Amino acid sequence: MKKLLIILAALFISTSAFSQDKKERVQIYNPKANALADIKAATEKAAKEKKHVLVQVGGNWCSWCIAFHNLVDTTASLKQTINDNYEFLLVNWDKDHHNDEAMKVLGFPNRFGYPVFVVLDGTGKVLHIENSSYLETDEIGSNGKKKVGHDVKKINSFLKGWTFAAVDPDSYKPKSK
């Protein structure tokens, strides 16, 4: 009887832990979203507001995608740069939802791994694809090893380099005196 109770308790605990893990899993990407429709809506809105579209391609399975999203969420300068200059869009890619047509429109950015960032203008033209490994930190930790994660300065530099104003030729005309 004791063995049966122990087995049942272990089974209950493992089932509870597994179901709790499922509930706590981060869900920032929507696998059921219509990526093409979302891209179209974002580009139309960006054109009206003189912004660009920043697309983050990744999936809920991707720890680097979640980490990047959390970094942006908790870093005011990144959040503000994105809000002021971009329509931000998450496009899901996972083993069941490849979003092949969206990947084609975005220039097949998934060739660089995840997350990957695509900057579109207001017409939907791909201006730039950024491999997120270029945005990783070069910082060395106290243990002498490279820290893991993205670098806020590198991300800000990337974002500011692809704003509407940054690529608008009128931004570089000499000012009248």
End-to-end Cα distance, the chain: 93
Task: Record the tokens describing residue 101, joined without a space.
Answer: 């047509």
**Residue 134 backbone class (left: φ over 0; alpha: ψ -120 to 50; beta: rest):** alpha
* Per-residue pLDDT at 21: 46
The CATH architecture one would assign to domain 35-165 is: 3-Layer(aba) Sandwich (3.40)
Domain boundaries, the chain: 35-165
Give residue-wise pLDDT tens across range 63-119: 999 999 999 999 999 999 999 999 999 999 999 999 999 999 999 999 999 999 999
The alpha helices in 61-133, defined as continuous H runs, are: 63-74, 76-85, 100-105
**Would strands 52-58 and 126-131 be described as parallel, antiparallel, or unpaired?**
unpaired
**Confidence (pTM):** 0.83
* Per-residue pLDDT at 16: 47
Q: Tally Cβ neighbours within 10 Å of residue 29.
A: 24
Task: Record the tokens describing residue 94, joined without a space.
Answer: 């996972």
Distance CA 156, CA 100 (A): 29
Model confidence band, residue 128 (pLDDT cutoffs 50, 70, 90) = very high
